[in-house]
Amino acid sequence: MGKPTGFMELRRQNEASLPVAERLKNYREFVQHLTDEQAAIQGARCMDCGIPFCTSGCPINNIIPDWNDLVYRGSLADWKRALDVLHSTNNFPEFTGRVCPAPCEAACTLNINDDAVGIKSIEHAIIDKGWEQGWVVPLPAQKKTGKTVAIVGSGPAGLACAQQLARAGHGVVVFEKNDRIGGLLRYGIPDFKFEKSHIDRRIEQMRAEGVEFRVNQQVGEDVPAQKLKDEFDAVILTGGAEQARDLPAPGRELSGVHFAMEFLPQQNKVVAGDVLPQQILASGKHVVVIGGGDTGSDCVGTSIRQGAASVTQIEVMPRPAEQEDKALTWPNWPLKLRTSSSQEEGCTRDWSVTTKAFLGASGKVEKLNCVRVEWNAGKMLEIPGSEFEIQADLVLLAMGFVSPVQKVLEAFGVEKDGRGNAKAATDGAGCYKTSVDKVFAAGDMRRGQSLIVWAIREGRQAARAVDEYLMGFSDLPR
């Protein structure tokens, strides 16, 4: 694999980013993919480790060592082969190469006692070269089956499922409740992390492959569930886990307290050219983001670009260690302190803090009443005498998501699990099938809030399950 001694001789090189002052001027992506030479060096660091834990650490089981080796070899033909290997497991590497947290790198054998191979950066470089060279082209089915499939939701699970089924020869229609295709990729992830042109060119590819997209279609409301069951041979529910976790503290009703997913999609729409007279803006305000995950970080970066006077991010969990104990955590994804690019741009962070009340006057939020907490045997305990206040003109709730939107599941009458997700197994007979005949579920709709790689994996696997259901067999990959 690669250069046999490369992992001992060559150091990891991360992708370059534009300076903070430069990137805050707009909402464009600022991470620059590796040059061919840099990518080859990173590919050379891939070890001939016998058991590629990176592949099992990746939910879509990318064949990582193979494309690392091809990029190391470096000819144009090798790069094209690397793209073919990458596409064999992943429909949208330009999505994952930008917004996946890279659990594959945590599982890299080199990560036991050194810096992991820069797998995500190599993936990013491969797919970008693929588009630049014109290698990414429509792959329409040679023969149509006459079967039709409705897919509800156009996020990564729905898009992956749609593309696989279209390539198998089925007639596929994707229903999306918003005015543009892409789900949370379109409305949720900031443009400075993921420009929406990546979605647009995949949509054009998929249209050429026979996929039909219908926007402004709220299934369960404008489009009755029964209509889909009557008109299609199978229906797949692939919506996102959009039911946000609330914070029902006193003062929650004050103006200026919003869910993250009220705030972030509006900026996506403005970047796309829409005019929103009532946009929620952080301009000139003291912003407090409650929640320390990726969504909270997205709120931080967006608030800074809008010109917030200050941004504070608080998290109820304790501050993680700077470095994980790899002997205990490898090859699993470790809990450790991570600082996002948005947090680097100017943000005060605090941990072990919970909000007791939203305080304000004339119906508008002005402060948060907070208290420090400690954790004992999984229980959160307030620390006596530790109450304090944080100035806040805008509060953004980014504490995760609890379930899919229930009205879609209820419209189809599918059985739900204890967390409010569609109940469907992922193995054995009836894979991804719900309790309702012809209705399948995948992605966040089935598993709850998760990573983009899990969404793509489930979309692909559900496509195979539906293909088998319709045809009695399937040549789609497992």
Q: How many CB atoms lie within 10 A of CB 232?
A: 20
For domain 148-242+402-471, which architecture applies?
Answer: 3-Layer(bba) Sandwich (3.50)
With a cut of 90, say whether residue 405 has pLDDT above it: no
Of the pLDDT bands very low, low, confident and very high (cuts 50, 70, 90), residue 470 is very high
Tokens coding 298 = 């997205």
Average pLDDT over residues 338-348: 96
Tokens 């992991």 belong to residue:
116
With a cut of 70, say whether residue 1 has pLDDT above it: no
- Max CA-CA distance within the chain? 72
Domain 246-399: which CATH class? alpha beta
With a cut of 80, say whether residue 367 has pLDDT above it: yes
The secondary structure element, H or E, covering residue 164 is helix 156-167
- What is the structure's pLDDT at 478? 82
DSSP class of residue 320 equals: P
Q: What is the mean pLDDT of the chain?
A: 96
Tokens coding 425 = 């197994």
Type of residue at 247 = L
Q: Of 92-101, 311-320, 426-435, 442-451, which gets the smallest average pLDDT?
A: 426-435
| Residue 335 exposed, middle or buried by CB count within 10 Å (0-12, 13-18, 19+) | exposed
Tokens coding 251 = 């003062």
| Residue 46 exposed, middle or buried by CB count within 10 Å (0-12, 13-18, 19+) | buried
Average pLDDT over residues 335-353: 96
17 contact partners, CB below 8 Å, separation of at least 6: 23, 30, 31, 32, 341
Of the pLDDT bands very low, low, confident and very high (cuts 50, 70, 90), residue 2 is low
Of the pLDDT bands very low, low, confident and very high (cuts 50, 70, 90), residue 319 is very high
Partners of 290 in beta bridges: 314, 397
Average pLDDT over residues 294-306: 98
Share of the chain above pLDDT 70, in %: 99
Type of residue at 57 = G
With a cut of 80, say whether residue 123 has pLDDT above it: yes
Domains 6-132 and 246-399 agree in fold: no
Tokens coding 220 = 């369960």
SS3 of residue 32 by DSSP? strand
The domain defined by 6-132 carries CATH number 1.10.1060.10: yes
Cis check for the bond before 138: say yes or no (omega within 30 of 0): no
Contact between residue 190 and residue 301 where contact means Cβ atoms under 8 Å apart: yes
- 301: phi then psi, degrees, rounded to nearest 5: -60, -40
Domain ranges of the chain: 6-132, 148-242+402-471, 246-399
Give per-residue pLDDT as tens, 275-298. Answer: 999 999 999 999 999 999 999 999
SS3 of residue 361 by DSSP? strand
- What is the structure's pLDDT at 50? 87
Give per-residue pLDDT as tens, 191-215. Answer: 999 999 999 999 999 999 999 999 9
- 168: phi then psi, degrees, rounded to nearest 5: -80, -5
